Amino acid sequence: MYLGIATVLIAAMFFSNFATVLGPDGASEKIGYGEYIPYLLFLIMLVAANVMALATFKARMLQMRICILSSILLLAFQIWLAVDIIRHWNEMVFSITAVFPLVALILDLLAARGIFMDEAIVHAASHLRGDRKRKRQ
């Protein structure tokens, strides 16, 4: 569930505006995430990582590792966005979508933790079953 919500948040950024530039005469120009090539590349990598994490639900350890990799990418993207926001604070009005990577980062980390806990429970249960079979013999 966490991975699905994080994927939707990141995919929504493709169609969202990053900021609005206010001109001296009152005119405004919207800047989308897709208009700036590095942002677009980051978004493509992040959506691909989250979709891959969703698709690897049968290989739990791989899924957890992809979630952690996606979280690292999300952190880097959020830091980059924060630096751009600080640099252009007086020139632009920023959209709330600038915090979507942070929300998706938290969701991916929660998903990785949940996957790890599920895998630990399955691993412990399999060891308990193995011990019981050995005791019966």
Kindly report, residue by residue over 68-95, the tens digit of the pLDDT. 999 999 999 999 999 988 888 888 888 8
The whole domain housing 44 covers: 2-136
Tell me the C-alpha distance between 68 and 45, whole Å. 14
Report the CATH number at residue 15.
1.20.140
Q: What is d(CA 49, CA 32) in angstroms, rounded to the nearest whole number? A: 22
If one counts the domains in the chain, the total is 1
What CA–CA distance (Å, rounded) separates 23 from 122?
59
Q: Which residue has the tokens 């505006």?
A: 17
Tell me the range of 24-33, 68-77, 81-90, 112-121 where mean pLDDT is highest: 68-77
Provide the pLDDT for residue 44: 95
Asked if the model's pLDDT at residue 52 lies above 70, the reply is yes
Q: Which residue would you say has higher pLDDT here, 121 or 134?
A: 121
Structure tokens at 24: 């001296």
Residue (of 6, 13, 12) closest to 36 by Cα position: 13
pTM of model > 0.85: no
The pLDDT of residue 34 is 85
pLDDT of residue 135: 62
CB 94 within 8 A of CB 18: yes
pLDDT of residue 137: 59
Whether residue 134 is predicted with pLDDT greater than 70 in this model: the reply is: no
pLDDT at res. 112: 93
Q: How far apart are CA 41 and CA 35, in angstroms?
A: 11
Of 119, 128, 127, 125, give the one whose Cα is nearest residue 59.
Answer: 119
Quick check: 28 pLDDT over 90? no
- 42 and 80 Cβ atoms separated by less than 8 Å: yes
